[in-house]
Chains A and B, each alone.
Chain A
Amino acid sequence: MDGGVELPLVEVSDLNVKFVSREATVHAVNNVSFAAKAGEVLCILGESGSGKSVTLRTLMRLLPRQARVEGGVRVNGKDVLAMRSRELRDLRGGLVSMIFQEPMTALDPVYTIGQQIGETVRRHTGCAHKAARARALELLELVRIPSAERRLDAYPHELSGGLRQRAMIAMALSCNPRLLLADEPTTALDATVQVQVLILLRRLQRELGMGMIFVTHDLGVAAEVADRIAVMYAGRIVETGPVAQVLANPLHPYTAGLLASTVHGQDRDRDIDAIPGSPPDMRRLPHGCSFAPRCPRRTAQCRAEIPEPTFPAPDRMAACFNLSASAG
């Protein structure tokens, strides 16, 4: 570490999120700890039900009432879990903002793009209508929406999917957040549009010096945007590290399995090395390591205890008893 001691922008420690209902308790996030620096892109990679979106939403406390949250969440030194609702309103859209997968449902259909962005600007800066509109125009130009002046008065349904997602990014950036949270922002977009939005997000993140936490299920997308990567399985982080190292040399058997099973130029004459079985039921997690039932390296120990995080190389973490032989 050079450059002196720097406080991380995001610090999550021993986070547990449960959803309690009469029928069952879902352990969505289990003992998750991670940190992200300002100016860094952290990708949380996981399949559906892995707890990646719940983890992201906890950073802004955007969880339904039946969620039980324990642990520590600090953003820019502030304890998010201890915040009162007034402080939370300042946090959301101010210090931290979020872009969602479906811009059509995240934007309000009965207000124009300009009105929605302007409202956020006025709420956080207290400026006049006219100044807010000018700021909205500036933001639409920042996210490269063509003929931005005209688009200010457009309703969400009048925009294409790619433009809508750009408008949502503009709204998220309206108050210069230090941390941008992105929940699968390109999953609903077409391939040629997805790559445009990824390039835009990467450029804005660099130019504005924001921290970004980017949730995705797509290894290819993670490879395009991430500096570091955290792989989640069944509510736990099983591996973290710099993106190039994790993709080139995965330590955890789940990460290795995910890489092998993602279709990308495999030999057409051979079967893909799929991970057998399916992800566990989050209401009834197995004893020990949740991945053990599908794992080629499992031993008796895996069925009995939950593996603790180990640090086999600088900046690498993996929670597994039987790490890949190529580690280090």
Chain B
Amino acid sequence: MALSSEIDSRDRGGPAQPLLIARELRKHFPVKGARGKSVQAVDGVSFTVRKGETLGIVGESGCGKSTLARLLLHLIIPDTGELVFDGEAVGVADGIAVNTLRRQVQMVFQDSYSSLNPRMPVRDSVAFGPFIQGRKKTEARDIARAILGKVGLDADLFGPRYPHELSGGQKQRVNIARALATDPRMVILDEPVSALDKSVEAQVLNLLRALKRQLNLTYVFISHDLNVVRYISDRVLVMYLGRIVELGPVSEIFERPFHPYTKALLASRPSMDPARRIEEPPIIGDPPNPIDPPSGCRFRTRCPFAEAVCESTAPVLGEWLDMQSHVAACHMQDPASGHSKAGQA
């Protein structure tokens, strides 16, 4: 089934062609009973995912990271914006169909129980994808057996079981198997380990890394846990209230963060050392309601460096050149913005 070599017969644009390009994705959800108001879940988000990388997406609740994941699979239709998968636009006349996209991009959700059919033995859940895509029933069963083995579950022992007979870690392994059964090129992982105990979380992270190597996969890994994102990602995208605030290689983001929000997020991580406790909160207050986001820079209401320009003008993400680019959407990064600290950082 899956191809271990570097050459993938489905590869069209070659290694330099990004696997996925998202351009100006936007999704606003109208609010019932409040005319003209909407939750601005994702508001003009552009980025690329390179073949073979793991792109980590971090942000707090309400920042739009889960909506973004669903937009990438057209599980939610974007209001505006464009998706390009391996050089071909998705869902347009001369591009590829959404169904074709979903064969190559799969998703693993946070809640391992509700994403499996409770009335189906898990081997049937895993076999369902290949079957629906035209494989014979026996073929689909064989694929399910093989892939269950790959995720570390004995197919004879666990295959006939129902989801409620498995532990959280085992269920999440089944979900990973289900996602991989259609032999995708890219997997979107939406908080895949957040509901697991720490000892099991480590097992699943190790498994995800091993599978990525074996099956030549590309990951988009969404998490609120910065330590996990640092461990697993090659590049990191930081979101705040529906917009990208910073994007760069993992070492850059964690060692030289530009944006005050990224800095605050990093400083909010517990130290694991009782001798170095956090004495003062890095920032105060909660993230604002995405129904009525602040004008200009959306972080300005919590930012210690906010000035008039931050209220009047939304900062743009710096120009993105290549995979090593480290960019942030902050007026302090732009010498021409008029912010008193511009260009000093």
A residues contacting B by CB (< 8 A) are 47-48, 146, 160-163, 190-196, 198-199, 217-221, 223-224, 226, 243-244, 247, 257-258, 261-266, 268, 271-276, 278-279
- Interface status of B87 (Cβ within 8 A of chain A): no
Among B36-44, B111-119, B220-228, the stretch that binds chain A is B220-228
Closest B-chain residue to A221, C-beta based?
B270
A221 to B250, CA, bound (A): 24
A104 to B279, CA, bound (A): 27
Chain B window 162-191, contacts with chain A (Cβ cutoff 8 Å), 1 for yes, 0 for no: 000001111000000000000000000000
Contacts of A192 in B (CB 8 A): 60, 264-265, 268, 281-283, 287
Contact in complex: B268, A266 (CB < 8 Å): no
Q: Knowing A224-B277, A263-B225, say if A272 contacts B272 (CB, 8 Å).
A: no
- Interface status of B275 (Cβ within 8 A of chain A): yes
Contact in complex: A220, B271 (CB < 8 Å): yes
Contacts of B280 in A (CB 8 A): 199
Contact in complex: B198, A247 (CB < 8 Å): no
What are 10 A-B interface contacts by the 8 Å CB criterion?
A: A48-B197, A160-B286, A190-B60, A198-B270, A198-B278, A223-B277, A224-B278, A247-B273, A261-B199, A271-B209
Closest B-chain residue to A266, C-beta based?
B231
Contact in complex: A278, B170 (CB < 8 Å): yes
A263 to B269, CA, bound (A): 12
Contact in complex: B224, A191 (CB < 8 Å): yes
Of the residues A217, A223, A263, A276, contact of B270 by C-beta under 8 Å: A223
A295 to B211, CA, bound (A): 26
Contacts of A247 in B (CB 8 A): 272-274
Contact in complex: A224, B169 (CB < 8 Å): no
Contacts of B272 in A (CB 8 A): 219-220, 223, 247, 262, 264
Contact in complex: A191, B200 (CB < 8 Å): no
- Interface status of B161 (Cβ within 8 A of chain A): no
Closest B-chain residue to A195, C-beta based?
B268
A224 to B277, CA, bound (A): 6
- A313 smallest CB distance to B (angstroms): 17
- Interface status of B284 (Cβ within 8 A of chain A): yes
Contacts of A47 in B (CB 8 A): 197-199
A224 to B278, CA, bound (A): 7
Q: Knowing A274-B199, A275-B202, A279-B197, say if A191 contacts B286 (CB, 8 Å).
A: no
Of the residues B199, B201, B281, contact of A199 by C-beta under 8 Å: B281
- B178 smallest CB distance to A (angstroms): 19
Q: Knowing A192-B268, A195-B281, A263-B227, say if A223 contacts B274 (CB, 8 Å).
A: yes
Kindly identify, within residues 200 to 222 of chain B, every residue whose CB is under 8 Å from any CB belonging to chain A: 200-203, 205-206, 209
Task: Give the one of B168, B268, B274, B280 with max A CB within 10 A.
Answer: B274
- Interface status of B103 (Cβ within 8 A of chain A): no
Count of B interface residues, CB-CB < 8 Å: 47
Closest B-chain residue to A47, C-beta based?
B197
Contacts of B275 in A (CB 8 A): 244
Q: Knowing A160-B286, A263-B228, say if A274 contacts B268 (CB, 8 Å).
A: no
Contacts of B230 in A (CB 8 A): 265, 268
Contact in complex: B231, A274 (CB < 8 Å): no
Contact in complex: B265, A258 (CB < 8 Å): no
Contact in complex: A191, B271 (CB < 8 Å): no
- Interface status of B61 (Cβ within 8 A of chain A): yes
Contact in complex: A274, B206 (CB < 8 Å): yes
Contact in complex: B60, A191 (CB < 8 Å): yes
Of the residues B197, B226, B286, B289, contact of A193 by C-beta under 8 Å: B286
A287 to B43, CA, bound (A): 56
Closest B-chain residue to A259, C-beta based?
B272
Contact in complex: A224, B270 (CB < 8 Å): yes
- A268 smallest CB distance to B (angstroms): 6
Contact in complex: B197, A263 (CB < 8 Å): no
Contact in complex: B224, A190 (CB < 8 Å): yes
Kindly identify, within residues 253 to 302 of chain B, every residue whose CB is under 8 Å from any CB belonging to chain A: 264-265, 268-275, 277-287, 289
Closest A-chain residue to B254, C-beta based?
A265
Q: Knowing A192-B268, A196-B284, say if A274 contacts B203 (CB, 8 Å).
A: yes
Closest B-chain residue to A200, C-beta based?
B281
Contact in complex: A199, B270 (CB < 8 Å): no
A274 to B208, CA, bound (A): 13
- B91 smallest CB distance to A (angstroms): 33
Contact in complex: B281, A196 (CB < 8 Å): yes
Contact in complex: A217, B197 (CB < 8 Å): yes
Contact in complex: B269, A220 (CB < 8 Å): yes
A52 to B148, CA, bound (A): 33
Of the residues A161, A221, A223, A275, contact of B199 by C-beta under 8 Å: A275
Q: Knowing A274-B203, A275-B202, say if A264 contacts B227 (CB, 8 Å).
A: yes
Contacts of A220 in B (CB 8 A): 269-272
Contacts of B231 in A (CB 8 A): 263, 266, 268, 272
Contact in complex: A191, B205 (CB < 8 Å): no
- A194 smallest CB distance to B (angstroms): 7
Closest B-chain residue to A233, C-beta based?
B199
Kindly identify, within residues 133 to 183 of chain B, every residue whose CB is under 8 Å from any CB belonging to chain A: 167-170
Contact in complex: A261, B201 (CB < 8 Å): yes
Contacts of A226 in B (CB 8 A): 274
Contact in complex: A190, B286 (CB < 8 Å): yes
Contact in complex: A261, B202 (CB < 8 Å): yes
The 3 A-B pairs at the shortest CB distance, nearest first, are namely A220-B270, A274-B202, A261-B202
A261 to B228, CA, bound (A): 11
Contacts A195-B282, A223-B273, A262-B198 given; 10 further ones with Cβ under 8 A?
Answer: A47-B197, A161-B286, A190-B287, A191-B224, A192-B282, A199-B280, A224-B277, A226-B274, A244-B275, A272-B206
Task: Give the one of A191, A268, A273 with max B CB within 10 A.
Answer: A191
